[in-house]
């Protein structure tokens, strides 16, 4: 057993923290929440120069050849600082499925661009049924000559409005199981027939409604095999869930630290409120949640990174726990801050809102518990 | 990072499992009142060389690293091994003597602890000194080569069975700080002037009050140096942490039985496990157990790196003890009306263990430093909040 990060991981963490503190202050976070695009192209380019977009991509695609654990460390920092923009959708939801299921030609075409920061991706999976499983996929793709024609509506697609390419999860046949008959396509976002609209959300994270109306995609843009796209999607969901957990753990750390700083300095009855036992208990409970969340994140991430059996249930356990922990920590954080914590001007609200949007992404707590129950054989 | 145990550790795990199954059988649930006190078992374990596996080799231990000790602790707890008779001696007395004890104490006590021959009780708490332990009033007054002890201890486990007592006593009432006037004595429990009185608990175990009325003990009974007792008490807690790291394993066993019951028992014509509300609760507990186990691994890992994990240990203590209460409740809920049946009833599932667990479960949150105190330790020592 070894529960320490490597020296390289510690360095990555420190440099990411320094960079984000400097380049992505909360004033920018707030501005981008209101911004139509929701990201800063200058910041995006700087991140690309640091090699972040290609962190886990092999060197032949201009990547840095690092591992999933390293990406988790980076995402933790992004969640801690709150980094608005398309890193998650491009790198986690975009580059990973291409890396794992793409043809050599697709990898060359897309991964090189992604690593350079020249392509923004989105993954269109969930639909109005709002489910994170194969049965929720009804958007149809029908073969027509050398192309497929896609029709359907996707919801909650992060960053589709700025994406260059959208990976669309479609149903190409009615199979014997919901998982059978799923096919993924790499769709040029400028293709005729795509209509995209940003939905206002609690996390201000640019989730979009994307309508595909007779959208034509060349066969060569199929990602993975015909009808057999579900394993690719399932694997991507596993990565994405852990990646989201990483952001959420980082957010918890920030919320706790802000709270500790505040209760040490805020004076009532002539004393810092942090000297009151009730506040001390709150803070101890918050810390307990942060620590446990971090451990469970690393355990599950390690499982996924190592490709060990049973990683799906590890992921469900982690997300189930971290969902509740992040909400708890941010709720207590607001309480400890008092009225100021409820204002738009205060940073704690940014985290409070993201705790909820984070829970909803890739399965809320009830969903994860259901997966755990299955694993228990109930 | 690597969350795997080594092949040797897994082999050790299997060896412990086999040993316990052979000694206790698969259905062992503790003695008559689910208690885990058995001098006979402790002797067997001593013979096997499995007391003090973490102690240094030069003192008769196996010198096994913390991760091995964690594995050992997990299996002992999962197997409900009745190890209570030697546990305090192994975890608190022995390690403190190794660190600060006189040669005489080491020579006399360490071998008998390792062989499982001796039972110690640990007596710190007093009627007026619970969470504020350093305010303890039981005192020892020097008189030539002897000390005269007076006072009262309470809530002491095993005191009625113990051969020796490990007693926290005030030896300098004028010390500038109350922590600095405390010493530890090892006393023969048969010493004239020491008496015990039973204090029955709602979980059927007997605790004791211990009275000292002019009990005369030789000055060689003082552990280490006079008036350094407070430091020994807190240091000894460090040694206990690795055993705390394994706590969840005992709860996992209870949980596994609850799940087994839910799957195999029908209510309204279908297995209880098909009830969505039951599923939800079981799955919530599975997540918590997972989290708790990792807290323990983190503890053992830090100890193995030579770090004393103060706050982590407090977190672990709070987390696991609060979890235990929820687990006790969950068990009875899943069993429904059968949950209330006690040991002795032929209809009691698992021989009434879950009913007993419900009564036992509040203990951990109260004992060993109440959870409220642990949280204040976390806040002040761990998070730097002001006093």
- pLDDT tens digit string along A234-259? 999 999 999 999 999 999 999 999 99
**How far, in Å, are A25, A314, B195 from residue B150 at the CA level?**
64, 56, 11
Fold identical between B7-118 and B121-230?
no
**How far, in Å, are A97, B88, B152, B161, B320 from residue B93 at the CA level?**
57, 7, 21, 17, 24
Contact A283 B263 (CB under 8 A): no
CATH code assigned to A231-375? 1.20.140.10
Question: Can you read off the two tokens belonging to residue A261?
Answer: 């700083």
Q: How far apart are the first and last CA of chain A?
A: 31
B342 CB within 8 Å of a chain A CB: no
Q: Which of B2, B3, B369 to mutate to test the interface with A (most CBs of A within 10 A)?
A: B3
- C-alpha B339/C-alpha B350 separation (Å) is 10
**How far, in Å, are A51, B166, B231 from residue A58 at the CA level?**
12, 62, 54
Handedness of CA A77, A81, A83, A88 (dihedral sign): positive
Q: Which of B375, B377, B381, B387 to mutate to test the interface with A (most CBs of A within 10 A)?
A: B375
Judging by DSSP bridges, how do beta strands A271-272 and A267-268 pair with one another? antiparallel
Instruction: State whether CATH 2.40.110.10 applies to domain A123-228.
Output: yes
**What pLDDT, in 10s, does the model give residues B73-117?**
999 999 999 999 999 999 999 999 999 999 999 999 999 999 999
| Chain A residues within an 8 Å CB radius of B305 | 4
Question: Can you read off the two tokens belonging to residue B301?
Answer: 């890992």
A292 CB within 8 Å of a chain B CB: yes
What is the pLDDT at residue A247?
98
Q: Which of A9, A284, A329 to mutate to test the interface with B (most CBs of B within 10 A)?
A: A284
Residues in CB range of A278: below 8 A, 6 or more apart: none
- C-alpha B364/C-alpha B350 separation (Å) is 22
B282 CB within 8 Å of a chain A CB: yes
Q: Which of B283, B292, B371 to mutate to test the interface with A (most CBs of A within 10 A)?
A: B283
Residues in CB range of A201: below 8 A, 6 or more apart: A207, A357
Q: Using the 8-state DSSP alphabet, how is residue A35 labeled?
A: S
| Chain B residues within an 8 Å CB radius of A69 | 1
Q: Which residue of A has its CA nearest to B66?
A: A1
Helices (H), A272-378: 277-306, 311-337, 348-360, 365-375
Q: Which of B7, B378, B385 to mutate to test the interface with A (most CBs of A within 10 A)?
A: B385
Name the packing angle between helices B276-304 and A365-375 (round to 10°).
90
Domain B245-382: homologous superfamily in CATH: Butyryl-CoA Dehydrogenase, subunit A, domain 3 (1.20.140.10)
Nearest to A373 among B4, B283, B295 (CB): B283
What is the pLDDT at residue B239?
67
Q: Using the 8-state DSSP alphabet, how is residue B54 labeled?
A: T
| Chain B residues within an 8 Å CB radius of A1 | 2-6, 67, 297, 301
Name the packing angle between helices A7-23 and A68-81 (round to 10°).
30
Closest CA of chain A from B285, distance in Å: 10
Nearest to B273 among A1, A302, A378 (CB): A378
**How far, in Å, are A77, B19, B347 from residue A14 at the CA level?**
9, 48, 60
Q: Which residue of A has its CA nearest to B288?
A: A321
| Chain B residues within an 8 Å CB radius of A3 | 1, 3, 297-298, 301
Question: Whose CA is closest to A286, among B377, B317, B381, B375?
Answer: B375
* pTM (two decimals): 0.95
Contact B318 A284 (CB under 8 A): yes
| Chain B residues within an 8 Å CB radius of A263 | 385
At residue B276's C-alpha, the angle toward residues B274 and B278, to 5°, is 80
Q: Which residue of A has its CA nearest to B298?
A: A3
Residue B253 · residue B281 · CB < 8 Å: no
**How far, in Å, are B87, B105, B166 from residue A67 at the CA level?**
44, 54, 52
Q: Where in the sequence of chain A do the CATH 2.40.110.10 domains occur?
A: 123-228
A261 CB within 8 Å of a chain B CB: no
Nearest to A369 among B259, B284, B301 (CB): B284
Name the packing angle between helices A7-23 and A41-49 (round to 10°).
160
Closest CA of chain B from A251, distance in Å: 18
Domain B121-230: homologous superfamily in CATH: Butyryl-CoA Dehydrogenase, subunit A, domain 2 (2.40.110.10)
**What pLDDT, in 10s, does the model give residues B159-197?**
999 999 999 999 999 999 999 999 999 999 999 999 999
CATH code assigned to A7-119? 1.10.540.10
Question: Can you read off the two tokens belonging to residue A206?
Answer: 């640019």
Catalytic residue among B74, B75, B240, B312: B240
Nearest to A1 among B301, B312, B380 (CB): B301
Nearest to B379 among A284, A291, A303 (CB): A284
DSSP string, A316-338: HHHHHHHHHHHHHHHHHHHHHHG
Nearest to B378 among A1, A287, A296 (CB): A287
Q: Using the 8-state DSSP alphabet, how is residue B194 labeled?
A: E
Residue B110 · residue B97 · CB < 8 Å: yes
Please tell me the class of the B7-118 domain: mainly alpha
How far is residue B204 CA from its own chain's centroid? 17
Closest CA of chain B from A374, distance in Å: 9
Q: Which residue of A has its CA nearest to B71?
A: A1
With b meaning 16 or more CB within 10 Å and e meaning fewer, what string describes B270-303?
Answer: eebbebeebbbbbbbbbbbbbbbbbbbbbbbbbb
Task: Break chain B into its structural domains and give their ranges.
Answer: 7-118, 121-230, 245-382
| Chain B residues within an 8 Å CB radius of A298 | 1, 3
Question: Whose CA is closest to B289, among B246, B352, B260?
Answer: B246
Residue A265 · residue A306 · CB < 8 Å: no
ipTM of the complex: 0.93
Contact A1 B3 (CB under 8 A): yes
* C-beta neighbour count of A216 within 10 angstroms: 16
Give average pLDDT by consecutive 10-residue segment, chain A, 378 residues. Answer: 96 98 98 97 98 97 97 98 98 98 98 97 97 96 98 98 98 96 98 98 96 98 98 97 98 98 98 98 98 98 94 96 98 98 96 98 97 95
Nearest to A317 among B280, B287, B375 (CB): B287
Phi, psi of B342 (to 5 degrees): -100, 165
Question: Can you read off the two tokens belonging to residue B237?
Answer: 């807690």
Phi, psi of B146 (to 5 degrees): -125, 165
B387 CB within 8 Å of a chain A CB: yes
At A271 the three-state DSSP class reads: strand
What number of residues does chain B have?
A: 387
B240 has catalytic annotation? yes
**How far, in Å, are A296, A369, B256 from residue B218 at the CA level?**
52, 61, 51
B384 CB within 8 Å of a chain A CB: yes
Residues in CB range of B380: below 8 A, 6 or more apart: A280, B386, B387
B330 CB within 8 Å of a chain A CB: no
Phi, psi of B143 (to 5 degrees): -145, 95
| Chain A residues within an 8 Å CB radius of B378 | 280, 283-284, 287-288
Q: For each of chain B's 387 residues, which pLDDT tens digit applies?
A: 999 999 999 999 999 999 999 999 887 888 777 788 999 999 999 999 999 999 999 999 999 999 999 999 999 999 999 999 999 999 999 999 999 999 999 999 999 999 999 999 999 999 999 999 999 999 999 999 999 999 999 999 999 999 999 999 999 999 999 999 999 999 999 999 999 999 999 999 999 999 999 999 999 999 999 999 999 998 887 667 777 889 999 999 999 999 999 999 999 999 999 999 999 999 999 999 999 999 999 999 999 998 888 889 999 999 999 999 999 999 999 999 999 999 999 999 999 999 999 999 999 999 888 999 999 999 999 999 999
How crowded is the C-beta side of A268, counted as CA atoms within 13 Å? 11
């Amino acid at each position: 057993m070894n529960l320490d990060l490597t020296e390289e991981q510690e360095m990555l963490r420190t440099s990411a923290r320094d960079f984000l503190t400097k380049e992505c202050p909360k004033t920018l976070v707030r501005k981008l929440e209101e911004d139509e695009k929701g990201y800063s192209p200058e910041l995006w380019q700087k991140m690309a120069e640091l090699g972040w977009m290609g962190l886990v991509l092999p060197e032949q695609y201009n990547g840095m050849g690092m591992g999933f654990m390293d990406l988790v460390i980076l995402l933790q920092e992004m969640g801690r600082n709150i980094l608005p923009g398309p890193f998650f959708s491009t790198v986690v939801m975009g580059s990973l499925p291409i890396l794992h299921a793409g043809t050599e030609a697709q990898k060359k075409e897309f991964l090189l661009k992604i690593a350079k920061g020249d392509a923004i991706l989105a993954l269109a999976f969930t639909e109005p049924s709002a489910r994170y499983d194969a049965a929720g996929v009804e958007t149809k793709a029908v073969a027509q000559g050398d192309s497929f024609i896609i029709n359907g509506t996707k919801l909650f697609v992060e960053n589709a409005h700025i994406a260059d390419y959208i990976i669309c999860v479609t149903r190409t046949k009615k199979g014997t199981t919901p998982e059978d008959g799923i096919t993924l396509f790499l769709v040029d976002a400028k293709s005729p027939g795509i209509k995209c609209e940003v939905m206002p959300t609690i996390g201000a994270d640019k989730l979009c409604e994307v309508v595909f109306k007779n959208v034509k995609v060349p066969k060569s843009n199929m990602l993975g095999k015909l009808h057999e796209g579900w394993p690719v999607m399932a694997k991507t969901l596993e990565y994405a869930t852990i990646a989201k957990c990483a952001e959420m753990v980082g957010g918890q750390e920030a919320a706790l630290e802000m709270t500790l700083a505040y209760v040490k300095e805020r004076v009532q009855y002539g004393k810092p409120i942090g000297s009151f036992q009730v506040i001390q208990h709150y803070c101890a409970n918050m810390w307990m949640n942060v620590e446990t969340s971090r451990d469970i994140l690393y355990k599950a991430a390690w499982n996924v990174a190592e490709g060990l059996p049973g990683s799906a249930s590890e992921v469900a356990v982690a997300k189930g726990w971290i969902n509740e922990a992040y909400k708890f920590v941010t709720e207590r954080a607001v309480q400890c801050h008092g009225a100021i914590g409820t204002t738009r001007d205060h940073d704690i609200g940014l985290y409070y809102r993201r705790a909820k949007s984070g829970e909803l992404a890739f399965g809320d707590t009830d969903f994860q518990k259901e997966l755990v129950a299955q694993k228990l054989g109930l | 990072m690597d969350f795997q145990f080594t092949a040797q550790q897994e082999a050790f795990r299997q060896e412990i499992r086999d040993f316990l199954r052979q000694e206790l059988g698969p259905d062992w649930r503790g003695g008559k009142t689910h208690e885990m006190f058995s001098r006979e078992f402790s002797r067997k374990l001593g013979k096997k060389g499995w007391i003090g596996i973490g102690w240094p080799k030069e003192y008769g231990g196996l010198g096994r690293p913390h991760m091995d000790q964690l594995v050992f602790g997990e299996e002992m707890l999962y197997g409900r091994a009745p190890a209570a008779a030697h546990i305090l001696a192994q975890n608190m007395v022995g390690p403190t003597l190794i660190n600060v004890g006189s040669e005489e104490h080491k020579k006399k006590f360490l071998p008998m602890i390792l062989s499982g021959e001796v039972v110690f009780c640990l007596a710190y708490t007093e009627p007026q000194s619970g969470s504020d332990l350093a305010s303890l009033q039981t005192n020892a007054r020097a008189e030539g080569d002897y000390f005269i002890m007076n006072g009262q201890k309470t809530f002491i486990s095993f005191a009625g069975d113990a051969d020796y007592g490990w007693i926290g006593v005030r030896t300098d009432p004028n010390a500038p700080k109350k922590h600095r006037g405390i010493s530890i004595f090892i006393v023969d429990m048969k010493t004239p002037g020491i008496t015990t009185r039973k204090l029955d608990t709602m979980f059927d175990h007997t605790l004791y009050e211990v009275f000292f009325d002019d009990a005369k003990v030789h000055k060689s009974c003082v552990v280490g140096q006079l008036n350094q007792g407070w430091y020994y008490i807190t240091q000894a807690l460090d040694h206990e942490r690795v055993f705390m790291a394994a706590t969840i394993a005992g709860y996992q066993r209870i949980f596994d039985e609850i799940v087994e019951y839910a799957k195999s028992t029908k209510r309204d014509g279908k297995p209880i496990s098909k009830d969505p509300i039951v599923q939800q609760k079981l799955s919530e507990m599975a997540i918590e157990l997972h989290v708790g186990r990792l807290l323990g691994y983190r503890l053992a890992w830090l100890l193995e790196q030579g770090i004393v994990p103060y706050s982590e240990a407090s977190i672990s203590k709070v987390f696991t003890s609060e979890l235990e209460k929820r687990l006790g409740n969950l068990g009875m809920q899943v069993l429904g009306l059968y949950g209330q049946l006690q040991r002795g009833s032929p209809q009691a599932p698992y021989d009434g263990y879950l009913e007993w667990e419900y009564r036992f479960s509040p203990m951990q949150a109260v004992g060993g430093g109440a959870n409220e105190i642990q949280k204040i330790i976390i806040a002040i020592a761990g998070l730097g909040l002001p006093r």
